[in-house]
Chain A
Amino acid sequence: MIPAAFDYVRAGSVDEAVGLLGEHGDEAKLLAGGHSLLPLMRLRLASPGVVVDLGRIDELRGVREQGDELAIGAMTTHYQLTKDPLIAEHCPILAAVTETVGDPQVRHRGTLGGAAAHGDAAGDQPTTLLALDATMVAQGPDGRREIAAADFFTGVFETALAEDEVLVEIRVPKVTDWGYDYQKFNRVAQAWAIVGVAALVRRENGGIAEARVGLTHMGSTPLRASATEQALEGASADGIADAAEQAAEGTNPPADQNAQPDYREHLARVLTRRALENALGR
């Protein structure tokens, strides 16, 4: 299939992109890597009148160190994330998760900002950003604002971004010495996660000082397994199994051809346990 006709504008700067969004309102769509938007347009499930291409704004690409955080340009590709030395050193979970996204071709084009702004609860990276307590930086007509990841994902394919805002940067904390793991459970290599679990563990004296657990595809947005996290504060490895039993608390998993809600809840518990065990060991 072929997308419906649209006007194409290649934005030269973020300001220009913001201006174009203001001018065209909900007629306009931002084009990042295009791997969520273009398939929707080909199936004519999306038919924007104006497509604003962010692909040539160099300032939106790349990873830099900023104090205790890494600042990732929204247009940094998945591929770049998997190869970036700063990510590898300070936030390896993001590289590991990104390796599971799509396929090599998709990772060459797809971007972290695009994946975040798409807001897919079945996406692997939004979950990870949530688990990382990332900060999303949006630029609108009145300048920049910061949105905590916990406030960013608001509903099914919905985010806190206003219509005239561009997601420009994602800041993640350095979790240099944290243990981590991502458990992605899917039917075939190309399929989306039925359930995914991102686990981060800060270790102290062989035990768990702090744990963060993000859940993929367990509700209308990415979620945190808060009860599990609380149960693990100061726990030892032996506490993982019991804590993981609480992983599905507060979730509202969807039903589809792969799983009914109770199976998703079961998977969340099992995968949380496995992810935490691996994280502690890594």
Chain B
Amino acid sequence: MPAISVEIDGVNYEDEVEARLLLVYYLRDRLGLTGTNVGCDTSNCGTCTVLLDGQSVKSCTVLAVQADGTEIRTIQGLAENGEWHPLQEAFHTEHGLQCGYCTPGMIMSSLDLLQENPDPSEEEVREGLEGNLCRCTGYQNIVKAVRKAAGEMKEGASA
């Protein structure tokens, strides 16, 4: 079995994995990092989204072996020193989630989006989240949350 070395949320893991093991099942089943979910089998829903070397990817469509030597960030590594990330805060205050199953992926995609575009319009947020499906919220409050977080992050950066 191939050996991999990967840094996840700041922790280094060295493991032997079956070649077919998908990154998301490596996270969930092997490491117990169950914050990242699986919602489809066709790379559509995006609930499994994590950052791989800083970019959003669908961890159900990446083999664990492909992640060898990379740095992964999941929803579980987003808060720092117990402080929520502005996106987590904004999803909460703007009611950008209901059942919460899509939320980890939605937040990680939003993080990628704001890295690319720190001040997105409503339309840009909607386009930027096209890889993530939510069945509960109708998206409106997700869009509000992302734009609110964008504002907070800009303030945080300039402060």
Contacts and interface: CB of A to CB of B under 8 A. Distances in A.
Interface of A: 1-8, 10, 31, 34-35, 38-39, 41-43, 51, 53, 55, 79, 102-106, 108-109, 189-190
Contacts of A51: 19
Contacts of B66: 31, 34, 53, 55
A24 to B, nearest CB: 14
Interface of B: 2, 18-20, 22, 25, 41-44, 46, 49, 52, 55-58, 60-63, 65-66, 109, 112-113, 116, 127-128, 130-133
B130 A190 contact: yes
B61 A39 contact: yes
B11 to A, nearest CB: 23
A104 B113 contact: yes
A102 B131 contact: yes
A223 to B, nearest CB: 27
Among B2, B22, B66, B112, chain A packs the most CB atoms within 10 A around the CB of B66
Given A6-B19, A8-B65, A43 B131 contact: no
A35 B18 contact: no
A190 B65 CA distance: 27
Contacts of B63: 8, 31, 34, 38
Contact of A10 (B41, B49, B62, B65): B65
Among A2, A38, A39, A43, chain B packs the most CB atoms within 10 A around the CB of A38
A109 B25 CA distance: 18
Contacts of A4: 20
Contacts of A1: 41
Contacts, number: 87
Main secondary structure of the interface of B (DSSP, over half): mixed
B131 A103 contact: yes
A76 B30 CA distance: 31
The list of the 3 closest CB pairs from A to B, nearest first, reads: A103-B131, A8-B19, A189-B130
B41 A109 contact: no
Given A104-B112, A104-B130, A106-B131, 12 more contacts: A8-B2, A10-B65, A31-B66, A35-B61, A39-B43, A39-B61, A79-B55, A103-B132, A104-B128, A106-B43, A109-B61, A190-B44
B75 to A, nearest CB: 15
Contacts of A3: 20, 22
B18 A5 contact: yes
Among A10, A104, A190, chain B packs the most CB atoms within 10 A around the CB of A104
A25 B46 CA distance: 34
Contacts of B132: 103
A118 to B, nearest CB: 14
Contact of A105 (B42, B56, B65, B116): B56
Contacts of A31: 63, 66
Nearest to B105: A105
Given A2-B20, A8-B2, A39-B41, A104 B131 contact: yes
Given A108-B56, A108-B57, A6 B20 contact: yes
B56 A38 contact: no
